[in-house]
Structure 1
Amino acid sequence: MPASAQPSTPTQPAFNRALHYGAGLLLCLSASALYGHRIDMRPLWWDEGFSIYVARLAPLELLRTLAADVHPPAYFLLLSGWVKLTGAAPFSVRSLSLLTSVVTVALLYAAGRRINGHAGAVITAALSIVSPYVLYYARETRMYSLGILLTAASLYAFLRLTARPAASRWWWLLYVGGSALGLSTHYAFAILPAAQIATIVALRRAALRQWLLAGGAAAILFAPWLIFARSQLLSLQSARLGGASQLQIGWPALGAIQPLITGYIPGSLPTVPVATALFIAIVLTGVVALQNRQRILAVVLGLCICGALALILLVRYTPGEAVARGTRLGFTALPGLCLLAATGLQRLLRLERWVGMAALVALSATLLPATLAPFSQPADVNEDYRPLVQQVQLLANPDDAVLAPYVWQQGYFASYAPGPLKFYGGAETPDSGPASAAAILAAHQRLWVLNYRADVHAPEVPLNVWLNHNAALVFEHWFGNTQLALFVRAEPAPDHWPAQALLEQNISVEYSPPPASIRPGAVLYLNLRWRTDGRVDGFDRVFVHLGIADAPPAAQSDHELADGFTPISKWPLQHAAIDRHALLLPANLTPGQYLLMAGVYDSQTNVRAQVLAPSGCASTTTVASAA
């Protein structure tokens, strides 16, 4: 082969670039695998449900909703477009946070390389990947992963611009755009540009004009939202943020720092205190090392971390609310913590390799259990709406309505089971509940009610009283902290009651015969009218059973008289009591003739009141084929 045809040997710079990009790509793929592993394992929680609900609103309604809430709109607008592309399933909505977190890893890899070379890039990216805090928000449908990404982007642009003041205008555009988007993602992002401007004032005053212009441009881009939501911002500041005199220090400060390093661990891992102390020591080592080489960067990272911690500690927490709950506001500290920790580890490796290796091994051994803990954490069954949604899917009709007092409940349904059900918001005040329910049942035959930590039988709630008088309870079941109840619109009581039975203790019941035929899966409605002229002893509940003699009931409705609002213990009755019952027939009920029986019984002994007349009182109905 001629010499001219010999392949040329790759140059060292080309090889280094390939190694650089290959390592970065491998780290990003590793982050994707870790963040995406069983990403839909954990059930959605309130804030995620709210995010999904808002993202499905029309743009103008979305902005109006957020103007009355505590967050600016950038993330929700992005999520709205993402939902249109991918759907609202848990994996789909959480994958947006996964994507932004992977891009954060890439940005921190690039920033680490400019500060500490190739080894520093790998360490910085690896620390961000295994950070329990980053992992938590990479798997949650909230704006904090986007906030971390925009913080990293702004810091990287700041790094390029301070290293080379005559840098390309594209870096200025990245800085201005990233800052404006960051402010439009979360108000806590303001800590970062404030720290950057303060650093320029202290160390680069000659370049202050450029930075003020850039900051002003970002503020102008953010200003329309400030004007739109100004009243909400003022009330938020007065309601949630205290003054400097209320700044919490000591153990509360440690409680704010620890989740930034080890995440939100539900139980106490013995390695958490060690990992926290070791990480802080390494970060402080990084501050000292960076101060000697790139003082301006060390100062801005330090100010950003301190500002984030101060914000967490300035929040007014309600009684019983842990300071760690506010750690989400410290997302601007994460990129700085990773960069400083990587710098500290490299400093230790250069001073004494064995010391650096020991620190790296110790940090990995104590931090990784916190990183892996969420994958083995059992789901909170009390807050898991998946079984509840499945139950509604099984029993609901397409024209049913759902009364969801909280919008996050609507977000859950939109994610777990999007469908034709019509959702209505809950009453803002107890007195407006009956009016809302009346309007809903005027348009729908059946109403599902989602009671979070509330009971439909509570007589002190006006909505419950109204439902008792105007609807019949078909189904109720507790799913953790939420009671699911199905009501059907009440049918008017007849003017004349064609059938009557007399029970012991002079109890009489009047009723209308059931329909001659009904299909499986339908609701069998029955009005009863009870009378008595004396005190009733030993019986406290009413039953209505549909079944075959000497066999368990195929469908039943057992509860206190008038659903507990007129208990038998309060008899004798001055007037006849209307008692509404609705039986939900199983969808697989075998066709045939069934007995419909009603009476009263003692819930302690299951002894029923004896029927005196007519003998063997019961009505019959035929369950027809579902076809």
Structure 2
Amino acid sequence: MKKNWFWLIILILAGTALRLAWLDRQSLWYDEGVTWMLSQMPLTELIKWTAADIQPPLYYLIIWINDIIFSDSEWALRVPSVFFGILTIPLIYTLGRRLSSIHPLSHQPSNQLTSQPTHPNSSFFILHSPFSFLAAFFFTLSPLMIYYSQEARMYTLLTFEATLAGYLLLKILHPTIKETQDSNRLKTRLLNPLLYAVVSAMALYTHYFAAFLLVAHALYALFVLWQSEASRSKLLPLLLAFGGSVLLFAPWLPILLARLGDDPSYWPGALKLNEAIRKVAITFIAGETVIEQIGWWLTLAFLTLIVLSFICLLIPNQPTSPSHPNSSFIFHLSSLFLTLWLFIPLVLILTLSYQSPKFNPRYALLAWPALALLLAQLLTNLITRPYSLRVTFYAARLLFVLSIVFFLAVSSFSLFNWFNDPRFSKDDFQALAQFVKERKAPDETVLLSSGHFFPVWAYYYGWDGWTPLPWMLRLDVDQVTTLPMAQTIAEAVEGQAGVWLVTWQDEVIDPTGVVPFWLDRIGERRHDAGDFWGVGLEHWQLNPHHFDRLHDNPIQREAQLNFADQIELLGYTQLNDSELVLFWRPKQPLPDDLVFNFDLTDADGFSWSRQPLTGRLGSDVYPPSRWPVGETVITHHQLPWQIGTPPGLYIAEVELGAVAPPPGASTATAAGDFSGWDILDAQGRPQR
């Protein structure tokens, strides 16, 4: 026992070192900036914010208290995540020992926290002493768990709560003989359910997806009650446990119900399940800091080792005696518990996300400990099961060694990327803000596009001297920047000689480049803004004599071309020799894909384009189907001049239309036929 605790302490120390390593080296990113902002609010304002948000308040309350104790540095904001990540290491070890006490479909309690196989040739899914250590080992060195232990978000807290809730549920359902014979048995029977209720409610107050964990727990409890001869004695504790968690969460339940389906931070649509499952597999095995293509091959290789290990355990042994029959598989309750824990939350999260495809594998992190425990369970049985054939004996040990070595290699590779490869760094708001501070003149201002990332900007830059475009407390994909934003820009640049434009997720909020368009109209780009990871920065020198353009019609030359009574081309503005801005106004809802053909010719019809420009109108995140009917939308186009094109006036020929699906296809593809739309006159007659 002392030896086991010695190695556990080694794991805890290693996990602590890895989670504290370079904790404050990287910039906070957007979500962490929101965490900081909430920690600065009065408590009542914090509660109001979370009530209107998609995250409940418990984690933010912890950060609020943490800010009082440790201040608001990057290190201080992230250290609670480190703390809960470290706490989960001994907890998952303890949970593993509790799982080891469960016998295969046994109705009798165990008298110890490790058990030996019922018979030597039937040891599959019967747990042994290395199991708990292996589970803690996987958790300690998991690049995914280390990554989120260094982020000022609620995910390690949620993982800790999920693990603790699982442990308490097992104590309720599978007490040891010692626990059943305890003189304070009645007190224990009440204490564990109450603790479970508190921890489960805390998980719900940390993240709403904890509800899916409770579904998995409820299914497992129902199965145990169905199998157990003493189901009546367990019914009351279970009612206290699950009913108590619901009662404790009940005050917040109306807020949750009001928020269901109300998440404006993503577009409606359908989740691509195959891509989501692939991403979950890569993230759970290789972490967040591998290139997806490499991570997929690493994941397939690791899964191959797991499948081979599983097959090895399924190979039957020769019976050694009539009392030891030829049986290599015994179903174990612990395996059911872990399988439900792993898959039920994941399936329900994917189901919930299917119609609103905002999904990230981190949403399922509460299920990751189950994966570590299942892997530990599989590998433990691989080396502890007796084998009658020498070849299977050595094959099992080879697979065990290969699995451990492969895990260590993948973990080392992913952690090396995290600590050393700038491609996996967080968006560098810190360096950009410092750059602007050092170079911004007193008569210059800062604009933020999109404005929702203001919390992390305020953390590094301060609260003065900048304007969000648009002002929004949270990301709302429907608040797309339109041409009337000129009024806000005019107020922000009044009396200023220059502008620094900081861009992050501007492709979502300003997908048509409205803000750069207006700044180009009133100033000149300086091209001295530097390059920063994940965040954009541009600098304009303003011309005060052009400020009136912010109040004028932005169209230099009007056209009023009606394409098939679907959309109007109102006109264009040429910003410079190489960039043209077209102004469109939809007359009806448009399809996702509109094909745009563009050519430059002279008066004699000779083309001066390097090649005719053909492409899709709009962008992936803002296709024509999202353009509001009756509102003006701009598109930017680079003019494809031939080298040596002489100065003069040229004709821009514009063709617009749709691509019809090829026969048998449900959607348009490049293989379909292009169908150009007629230009109609005022009476609706085709002109050309």
Q: TM-score, normalised by structure 2?
A: 0.59
Is the CA contact 1:406–1:426 (under 8 Å) kept in the aligned structure 2? yes
1:268 aligned residue (285, 294, 303): 294
Is it true that 1:337 corresponds to 2:363 in the alignment? no
| Structure 2 residue aligned with 1:433 | 485
In the alignment, the residues of structure 2 paired with residue 287 and residue 50 of structure 1 have an alpha-carbon distance, to the nearest angstrom, of 50
Note the alpha carbon deviations across 1:577-606, whole angstroms, 9 max, x for none: xxxxxxxxxxxxxxxxxxxxxxxxxxx99x
Structure 1 residue 99 displacement after superposition: 1.5
Q: Confirm whether residue 128 of structure 1 aligns to residue 139 of structure 2.
A: yes
User: Which residue identity lines up with residue 437 of structure 2 in the other structure?
Assistant: Q
Report deviation, 1:186: 1.6
- The amino acid across from 1:275 in the alignment is F
Label 1:138 to 1:460 Cα distance change in 2 as closer, same or farther (>3 A).
closer
Partner of 1:590: none
Query: 2:272 and 2:68 mapped to 1: Cα distance?
Result: 43
Q: Count residues with an aligned counterpart.
A: 477
Alpha-carbon contact 1:449-1:484 (below 8 Å) kept:
yes
The code of the aligned residue for 2:171 comes to R
Shift of 1:441: 4.9
Give how far 1:19 is off: 4.1
Q: Does the C-alpha gap of structure 1 residues 316 and 173 become closer, same or farther in structure 2, counting only changes over 3 Å?
A: closer
- After superposition, residues 343-358 of structure 1 pair within 5 angstroms as 343-352=377-386, 354=394, 357-358=397-398
The answer to whether residue 270 in structure 2 is matched with residue 217 in structure 1 is no
Matches within 5 A, 1:158-237: 158-164=169-175, 166=185, 167=188, 169-204=190-225, 205-206=231-232, 207-236=234-263
2:29·2:426 contact (CA, 8 Å) conserved in 1? no
For residues 35 and 569 of structure 1, do their structure 2 counterparts lie closer, same or farther at Cα, with a shift above 3 Å needed? closer
- Does residue 34 (structure 1) correspond to residue 24 (structure 2)? The answer is no
Distance 1:151 1:287 in 2: 31
Is the Cα contact below 8 Å between 1:131 and 1:263 reproduced in 2?
A: yes
CA distance in 2, matches of 1:42, 1:24: 30
Query: What's the CA shift for 1:238?
Result: 13
1:256 to 271, 280, 288: 280
What is the CA-CA distance between 1:449 and the residue it aligns to?
Answer: 2.9
2:633 maps to none
Greater Cα offset, 259-268 or 80-89: 80-89
Residue 75 in structure 1 maps to residue 56 in structure 2: no
Unaligned runs of 5+ in 1: 1-15, 494-563, 571-603, 606-627
1:240–1:315 CA contact under 8 A, matched in 2: no
Q: Secondary structure at the match of 1:28?
A: helix
- Label 1:89 to 1:448 Cα distance change in 2 as closer, same or farther (>3 A): farther
Match of 1:85 among 69, 90, 93: 69
Counterpart of 2:338, as a letter, is L
Q: 1:426 to 1:307 in 2, by over 3 A?
A: same
2:81 alignment counterpart = 97
**2:431 aligned with 1:387:** yes
Could you say what secondary structure the match of 1:479 adopts? coil
Whole-angstrom distance in 1 between the partners of 2:146 and 2:15: 9
AA in 2 matched with 1:75 = Y
SS in 2 for 1:235: coil
Q: Which residue of 2 aligns with 1:484?
A: 537
| Partners of 2:35 and 2:308 in 1: CA distance | 37
Establish whether residue 361 from structure 1 lines up as the match of residue 404 from structure 2.
no
Aligned partners of 2:264, 2:575: CA distance in 1, in Å?
A: 48
Q: Distance in 2 between matches of 1:46 and 1:569?
A: 35
Distance 1:48 1:105 in 2: 24
Please tell me the residue identity of whatever aligns with 2:408: L
Whether the 8 Å CA contact 2:447–2:467 is kept in 1: the answer is: yes
**2-side partners of 1:283 and 1:47: how far apart?**
40
Deviation at 1:214, TM superposition (A): 2.1
> Is the contact between residue 56 and residue 205 of structure 2 (CA under 8 Å) also seen in structure 1?
yes
Using the alignment, how far apart are the partners of 1:215 and 1:287 within structure 2? 37
Q: Offset at 1:463?
A: 4.5
Which deviates more, 158-167 or 443-452? 443-452
Structure 1 residue 196 displacement after superposition:
1.5
Counterpart amino acid of residue 368 in structure 2: L
Q: Which SS does the other structure have where 2:428 is aligned? A: coil
Q: Is the 8 A contact 2:28 2:426 kept in 1?
A: no
Distance 2:219 2:312 in 1: 23
- 2:561 is matched with which residue? none
Q: Which residue of 1 aligns with 2:98?
A: 114
Q: How does 1:316-465 map to 2 (within 5 A)?
A: 316=353, 326-352=360-386, 354=394, 357-377=397-417, 378-380=421-423, 383-396=427-440, 402-406=446-450, 409-415=453-459, 417=460, 419=462, 421-427=464-470, 428=479, 429-431=481-483, 433-441=485-493, 448-452=500-504, 463-464=515-516
How far off is 1:78 after superposition? 2.1
State how far apart, in whole Å, the 2-side matches of 1:86 and 1:304 are. Answer: 35
Return the alpha-carbon distance in structure 2 between the equivalents of residues 57 and 407 of structure 1.
19
For residue 156 of structure 1, what is the aligned residue in structure 2? 167
Q: In structure 2, which of residues 340, 344, 347 is the aligned counterpart of residue 303 of structure 1?
A: 340
Superposition deviation, residue 310 in structure 1: 1.1
d(CA) in 1 for partners of 2:328 and 2:250? 35
Partner Cα distance (1:452, 1:385) in 2:
10
Verify the 8 A CA contact 1:410 1:423 in the aligned structure 2: no
Q: Which moved more, 1:106-115 or 1:50-59?
A: 50-59
- How far does the alpha carbon of each residue in 1:45-72 deviate from its partner, in whole angstroms, 9 at most, with x for none? 4433443344444434434443444322
The normalised TM-score by structure 1 is: 0.64
By percentage of residues, which structure has more helix? 1
Distance 2:137 2:411 in 1: 12
Change (3 A) 1:433 1:283: farther
Runs of at least 5 residues in structure 2 that lack an aligned partner in the other structure = 101-113, 115-128, 226-230, 316-326, 387-392, 471-478, 547-572, 580-642, 645-688
Separation in 1, partners of 2:443, 2:307: 58
- Conserved in 2, the CA contact under 8 Å of 1:176 and 1:214? yes
By how many angstroms is 1:193 displaced? 1.3
Structure 1 pair 99/22, CA: closer, same or farther in 2 (3 Å)?
A: same
- Cα separation, 1, equivalents of 2:78 and 2:511: 40
* Letter in structure 1 aligned against 2:360: G
Cα distance in 1 for partners of 2:215, 2:328 equals 21
Identity %: 22
Q: 1:77 to 1:438 in 2, by over 3 A?
A: farther
Aligned residue in 2 for 1:278: 305
- How has the CA–CA distance of structure 1 residues 396 and 187 changed in structure 2, closer, same or farther, with 3 Å as cutoff? same
- Quick check: 1:79–1:96 contact (8 Å CA) kept in 2? yes
- Counterpart CA distance in 2 for 1:346 and 1:127 is 13
Cα distance change of structure 1 residues 123 and 52 upon mapping to structure 2, 3 Å threshold: same
- Report the 3-state secondary structure (helix = DSSP H, G, I; strand = E; otherwise coil) of the residue aligned with 2:260: helix
The amino acid of 1:225's aligned partner reads W
Query: 2:158 maps to what in 1?
Result: 147
1:494-509 residue pairs with structure 2 within 5 A?
A: none
**Structure ID, larger Rg:** 1
Q: Kindly provide the amino acid, as one letter, of the partner of residue 174 in structure 1.
A: L
- C-alpha change, 1:55 and 1:396, in structure 2 (3 Å) is farther
Separation in 2, partners of 1:397, 1:290: 76
Amino acid at match of 2:169: F
Structure 1 residues 465 and 126, CA, compared in 2 at 3 Å: closer, same or farther? closer
Instruction: Work out the CA distance in 2 between the residues paired with 1:240 and 1:290.
Output: 50
Which stretch has the larger CA shift, 458-467 or 210-219?
458-467
Partners of 1:401 and 1:308 lie apart in 2 by 47
